Structure formats: structure tokens, C-alpha cells
Amino acid sequence: MDKIARIDMGAAGGPKVTVGDLGEYAGLGGRAMTSLVVAAEVHPLAHPLGAENKLVISPGMLSGTTGSMTGRLSVGCKSPLTGTIKESNAGGQAAQVLARLGYAAVILEGKPVGDDLYKIIINKDGIQVIVDNSLKLMDNYPLVEKLRGEYGDKVAYMTIGSAGERKLLAASIACTDPELRPTRHCGRGGVGAVMGAKRVKAIIIDDAGMKMRPPKDPEKYRDANRKFVEGLRKHPVTGEGLPAYGTNVLTNVLNEAGGYPTYNFKDGQFPGSAKLSGEAQAQLEIDRGGTATHGCHRGCVIQCSGIYNDKDGHYLTKQPEYETVWSHGGHCGIDDLDTVAMLDFLDDNIGVDTIEMGVTIGVAMDAGVIEFGDKAGAIRLVEEVQQGTPLGRILGSGAAITGKVFGVERVPVVKDQALPAYDPRAVQGIGVTYATTTQGADHTAGYAIATNILKVGGDVDPLKTEGQIELSRNLQIATAAIDSTGMCLFIAFAIMDQPETFQALLDMLGSFHGITMTGDDVVALGKKVLSAERDFNTRAGFTKHHDRLPRFFYNEPVAPHNQTFMMKDEELDEVFNW
């Protein structure tokens, strides 16, 4: 990965491609690349849908290699949903293929005049930008099917559905999985709307004729990868729990803990949770001839996904994730997996973030647009988004906008981004991350549970109150670093518990790039990324007063623990003091 492609979509005479060396961005990948480019090159007060914004697409530092779990792709920009800097990442094949073509980043700049829609073809011969108005308002599944007819099955596709083209704030960018289904989404923050604003409908990435990226020390890299895979396979979470049940295994546990937000955050437990559980979902998938164990990209050994078939045994969607099952399930008072799966398919097809869409429907239910538990009504609302009706455009713009339009007081957002599936009144520590992350409410912003072994911030006493602030800070640093490697965040479980697996990861990074890496280097990278993101947000007008949860979390106790969010503002303000 020794080059960056810049595509000026607004250039006089039509889009112009410039390929250059890495310059000051040498050695970066993933979130480090996207955030440092956006922080340095995008005016913080730019309109997110305007020509001044940039959409930065970057594979991770180890993507395109023979290394396992290296297939995450980062997309960054100024978010139209939050107004902050944004990094959103996904699995699928795109990162591996783009990296093998040698691109550390592809940056979409400017904005075309006129109504033409473009597709971008990236292959070993270079980059072409072609007008293709036949793709207008196509949704992701039929869109990819049409493109496959032209470009075949040995490529990766990144696409936006009708939501992205309409520049809806919940719009995502889909990346195809190994079966070329558009199921892996850079979902959060409206990155699909930015791609839509650039009038780019599809990016076709073809690595024919290219080889795996070669490590500097092949033998050491191969050995480190072998140990890394062994570590993942022997750990009970990455080797057993996730492959058997996927992330939805969390439904039962969160419900039991009273941290499962239900009926738009009015309750912490859902009576129908057992019907939505990962255990029930996996059994249903197997009974219907699907599978509960499936990888989202080649080279994945965890295989936390699956295939969800309908009652007749036909493919409906990929295995819905925990957050999706929650947002469309318990949050909306819906206890039916088939309804959730249909909503997951619609979200992927239209191209919207499943968390934002599900939370928005729950807010609309709270407003009385439909009743909680109305399965057909929930599907109808997402179809409104697909059709681009006035109501659909409101809903597709997310929970904050929908709450304002319908006068709802209980709107679970931070920096206008919907909260994920963990109630911060029950799990106070995750509320610290929701409130303070640079990204708007995001559970994955502080997800890399490897801070103990990284020794980020030194040892923390988990029994002290201030531990929550320190832990959130350390988690956010570690996550920013892992998001830059292109590794799936789920590797963190094995890293946390098995020092030899963490060492294997360091050895993979080191032997690939011909350097010696330590935990301190990883921490330094994480801090560098977060500092750049915080600085951008400050220049964009964000202050400590935006690092807060909505007031209802402080005022409304939630059952069964009858707790409110109790972290003090002054404590939240300490998160980024390092």
C-alpha cells in the first residue's frame, strides 16, 4: 500500500483521478488514515454534503495480506448525522482487494455539477470514473446483481442504495461479502449520504493479476499468524461462543443484567427476549437450512455471522447482529425474529444503518406513529424510507430528526447519533464512552477490551469509581489503535486473556512492516488518532457540553435496578485528559 488515489468529482470537464505517494500519511491505515486525512484536509465548518467534505476509504495496515482477521475497511469524513469527524468500518471483501491493489486510501473529493451518477472501477490498470445513470435509485441487492452481470464475481463492490442517493442521514455504504451479497455496511454516521453527495453510486474493486501483499519477514509473519489463529481458536469467545451464536448471544445476558433497552429506553428488560436470543436464532437458522457460522470476509477464523433463511428455506438476509436484533426487536417491542430479519434485509437493501433505523422506529412508536410491537407497521415504515416519501425521508434522517419532528422528549442520541443496545443506566461505564467519544454514541468506540494487556494508562483499580473514567479513556485509545490495523475488533477477547496472542499480533505488525512494535507503540497510535479527532471536533464547534447523555438518562430511573446515570459532568470532562 504505497499510494493514495484522489478522485476530484467536481473537476472541470468531469471527475479527475490523481494517484500520488503517501507523503505525510506513510505507514497509516484504517481509522488512523481516515481521521488524520479528514482532520488535516477538511474544513471543520464544511457542510458535510458539500464539495469541501472528503470521503476517505482506507484498508487496514494488514489488509490484503495472508493474515487472519485483517479485512476491516474504514471510511471517514465529516458526518452529516453528527457534524463531528466520523470513522465507520465494515468487513466484507473490499479492504483485502483494495489493499492488494496497493491503495492505502482512495479519497473522494469535490462534488460534480449536475445530476449524473457515477461508478468507479479500480483495477491493476488504474482508476476509471464512468457515468452510469442506469443505476439511479437502485437498491443494493438489485444493484450488485446488475453490476455482477457486467464485472463478474471475482471483484468486490462498494455501493449505496436509494438512501445514500437521497442523502439521508442514516445512509450506509455496503461492502459485499464473499458470496457477493451487500451485507457488510459502514453504517454509522451517514457516510452513505456523503458518497451520494459525491454522486458515486458504486465502486468496483478488481484485484485480478495482483498478489497478496508480501511481508518484510515472511517466515516470522507466517509463524506469528499461525500463533494468532491458534489463540483465536482456543479462546471460548472467539473459538466457541461467537461461531456458535454470533453477537446476538448477548441478548439473553443483557436482558438478564437489566441493561437491555426496551420500548425506547423505558425498561431494562424485555419479556420476549428469549424469542430473540442468539440461541433461538442459531437454532432457527440451522433448522431452516441456513447456517449459524459464517465469515464476512475470506481469512476470518471467528465466523461470527450466519445465513438466515425464510420459512421456505430461501435466503432472506445474513444473520442479524445483536445490535440489529435489539434495535428492531426489544427496542420496538417486537419479539419475532422473522420480522427482525426482514427489517435487516430492508436496511441492507436500502442502505441504512440498522442501529439508527431501529432506534428511529422506536422513537416514532413513542410518538404514536405506530404502536410498540407493530411488526407490519415497522416494516411499512422502513418501506416508506425506501420509497422516499416525506415520512420516509424524515425517518431515514435518524432518531434525532424524527424526535424533533414528532415532538418526542425521550430521544436516545448523543451528538445526534442513536445509542446502541446497552442501557447506560445499568452499565454506567459504557455511558461514559457514549457521552465522550468523538463519534457520537457508539459502543464500538470503546470496544477493544485489551487495555489491561496493553497497559494503556497503567493499572486501574476496577473497584474504584474513577475506574470507569480511566477504563473508558483506555478503551477508546486501544480501540482507535486496533481500528487502524484493519483487524476485526473481536480479536480483543483473545488478546485480553492470552498474552501470547497479543504478542502474536504485535509480531504480525512488526514482521510485516519490518519494525519492532510494542504495546507502547500501539497506545501512541491510538492517542494520536483520538487527539486529531478531538481537535477536529473542537474546531467544528463541539465543546464539553456536547459530551453528555440526554437528560432523561439522569432523570428517569430504569427497572429492574431503578438507577439513573450517575456520572458527574466533571468526571466526564476528565476522559480526554491524558
Using CB under 8 A, list all residues that contact another protein. Answer: 236-237, 240-242, 244-245, 247, 249-250, 252-254, 256-259, 269, 274, 277-280, 283, 304, 322, 422, 426-430, 443, 446-447, 449, 451-452, 460-465, 467-468, 471-472, 475, 490, 493, 496, 560-561, 563, 566
Report the nearest approach of another protein to the CB of residue 357 (Å): 21
- Please give the DSSP secondary-structure letter assigned to residue 526: H
Report the nearest approach of another protein to the CB of residue 449 (Å): 4
Closer residue to another protein (CB): 112 or 429: 429
Contacts of 100 (CB under 8 A, 6+ apart): 64, 207, 210, 211, 212, 213
Cα distances from 222 to residues 40, 62, 432, in angstroms, run 36, 13, 39
Report the nearest approach of another protein to the CB of residue 456 (Å): 12
Report the nearest approach of another protein to the CB of residue 570 (Å): 17
Are the CB atoms for 70 and 96 separated by under 8 Å? Answer: yes
Report the nearest approach of another protein to the CB of residue 256 (Å): 5
Are the CB atoms for 9 and 196 separated by under 8 Å? Answer: no
Report the nearest approach of another protein to the CB of residue 454 (Å): 12
Closer residue to another protein (CB): 174 or 359: 359
Closer residue to another protein (CB): 235 or 548: 235
Closer residue to another protein (CB): 308 or 434: 434
Closer residue to another protein (CB): 346 or 471: 471
Are the CB atoms for 92 and 17 separated by under 8 Å? Answer: no
Nearest to 172 by CA among 187, 152, 183: 187
Report the nearest approach of another protein to the CB of residue 490 (Å): 6
Closer residue to another protein (CB): 77 or 522: 522
Closer residue to another protein (CB): 46 or 244: 244
Closer residue to another protein (CB): 420 or 510: 420
Report the nearest approach of another protein to the CB of residue 232 (Å): 12
Report the nearest approach of another protein to the CB of residue 471 (Å): 6
Are the CB atoms for 328 and 354 separated by under 8 Å? Answer: yes
Report the nearest approach of another protein to the CB of residue 356 (Å): 19
- Please give the DSSP secondary-structure letter assigned to residue 435: H
- Specify the amino acid at residue 34: T
- Interatomic CA distance for residues 219 and 198, integer angstroms: 43
Closer residue to another protein (CB): 102 or 272: 272
Nearest to 190 by CA among 105, 75, 109: 75
Cα distances from 95 to residues 139, 303, 388, 423, in angstroms, run 22, 17, 31, 32
Closer residue to another protein (CB): 44 or 258: 258
Place of cell 471475482: 154
Q: How many C-beta atoms surround the C-beta of residue 133 within 10 A?
A: 10
Closer residue to another protein (CB): 130 or 274: 274
Are the CB atoms for 60 and 30 separated by under 8 Å? Answer: yes
- Please give the DSSP secondary-structure letter assigned to residue 491: G
- Specify the amino acid at residue 163: A
- Interatomic CA distance for residues 509 and 505, integer angstroms: 6
Report the nearest approach of another protein to the CB of residue 536 (Å): 25
Which three cell numbers, joined as nine digits, stand for 549? 447523555
Are the CB atoms for 377 and 391 separated by under 8 Å? Answer: no
- Interatomic CA distance for residues 289 and 506, integer angstroms: 40
Cα distances from 322 to residues 8, 412, 427, 501, in angstroms, run 38, 18, 17, 26
Nearest to 203 by CA among 146, 143, 121: 121
Terminal C-alpha separation, the chain: 32
- Interatomic CA distance for residues 177 and 491, integer angstroms: 19
Place of cell 442520541: 413
Report the nearest approach of another protein to the CB of residue 445 (Å): 10
Which three cell numbers, joined as nine digits, stand for 324? 440489529
Closer residue to another protein (CB): 209 or 560: 560
